[in-house]
Amino acid sequence: MVYQKALDDLSKGLPILVYDSEKREGETDLVIASQYATPDVIRRMRKDAGGYICTTVRESDAREIGLPLMQEFLARAIPEQRELFDQTDLRYDKSSPFSFTINHRDTFTGISDNDRSLTVIEFAKFISNVMPTPQKRKEFQRTFRTPGHVNLIIARDGYFAVRKGHTELTTFLAEEAGLIPSTTVVEMLSDTHSSMTRIEAQEYAESQSLTFIEGKEIIEQWANGQGNGVRCVRSAPSRSPVLLP
The residues binding its own copies (CB under 8 A) are: 25, 27, 39-40, 42-43, 46-47, 50-52, 66, 68, 70-71, 73-74, 76-78, 80-81, 83-87, 89-92, 96, 98, 100-101, 105, 108-109, 111-114, 117, 137-138, 140-142, 144-147, 149, 187, 189-191, 193-195, 245
Min dist CB 3 to its own copies, Å, is 25
- Asked if residues 83 and 75 have their Cβ atoms less than 8 Å apart, the reply is no
193 among known catalytic residues: no
**Cα separation, 179 vs 98, whole angstroms:** 22
Our answer to whether residue 3 is catalytic in this structure is no
Q: How far apart are CA 172 and CA 228, in angstroms?
A: 11
CB of 23 to its own copies, least distance (A): 13
Q: Which is nearer to its own copies, 7 or 62 (CB)?
A: 62
Nearer to its own copies, 3 or 85 (CB): 85
Taking the CB of residue 39, how many other CB atoms lie within 10 A of it? 15
Dihedral sign, CA of 146, 39, 19, 219? negative
29 is catalytic: yes
Q: Catalytic: 232?
A: no
Tell me if residue 224 is catalytic.
Answer: no
Strand partners, 152: 55
CB nearer to its own copies: pick between 87 and 235: 87
From 8, 40, 92, 106, the catalytic residue: 92
Rounded least distance, CB 5 to its own copies, Å: 27
Is there a catalytic annotation at residue 114? no
Output 51 or 215, the one with its CB closest to its own copies.
51
Which residues carry out catalysis? Answer: 29, 54, 92, 103, 149, 187
